[in-house]
Amino acid sequence: MVAKQLIWTHYDDGDEWVVYDPFSADIHLLTASARLLWTLVSDEQPHTIHDLVVTLAAELGRSPDDELTAVTRETLSSMDRAGLLRPMPS
């Protein structure tokens, strides 16, 4: 998956992000971790879940365990359903 052109908004009083999709006009509220995950997959390179979990764990200062793997899968799935990702061109 790769990321679409989106408009991101962040304010200094919190770590959440708001993202606006100009194509659908939808707006979503994301945690800082979800935003980090989106950033990782937005480089238009293929990633394995394992690679993403290892990178996220290092960034978040926690172990790349099963719980983080499950949350990562679920977050990617949610972002996909929300239209924040699109399939990478073959």
Partner 1 sequence: MSPATRSILSLLGTRGVQVAIGPFLVHVRSELTGVRDYLERFYDDFPMAEGGEGHFDLAVVAGRGMRRWVRPQASIVINGARPFLPLPALLAGASMEWGMNWCVGRSAHHWVAVHAAVVERGGRVLILPAPPGSGKSTLCAALVCAGWRLFSDEFALIDPDSGRVLPIPRPISLKEASIEVIRRRDPQVVFGPEAHDTEGSRFVHMRPPSDSVRRADESARPGWVIVPRFMAGKPTTLERLPKAQALMQVTDQSFNYNYLGPKGYTCLAELVRETDCYRLEYSDLDEVLALLARVTAS
Contacts to partner 1 by CB under 8 A: 7, 9-11, 13-14, 16-18, 20, 22, 25, 27, 29
Q: Least distance to partner 1 from the beta carbon of 32, Å?
A: 10
Which among 31, 10, 16, 46 is positioned nearest to 79, based on CA atoms?
31
Q: Which amino acid is at 47?
A: H
Instruction: State the virtual CA torsion across 10, 38, 73, 15 in degrees, nearest 10.
Output: -20
User: Which residue lies nearer to partner 1 by CB, 25 or 81?
Assistant: 25
Q: Least distance to partner 1 from the beta carbon of 15, Å?
A: 9
Q: Least distance to partner 1 from the beta carbon of 18, Å?
A: 5
Bridge partners of 3, per DSSP, are: 85
What sign does the dihedral 23-7-81-46 (CA atoms) show? positive
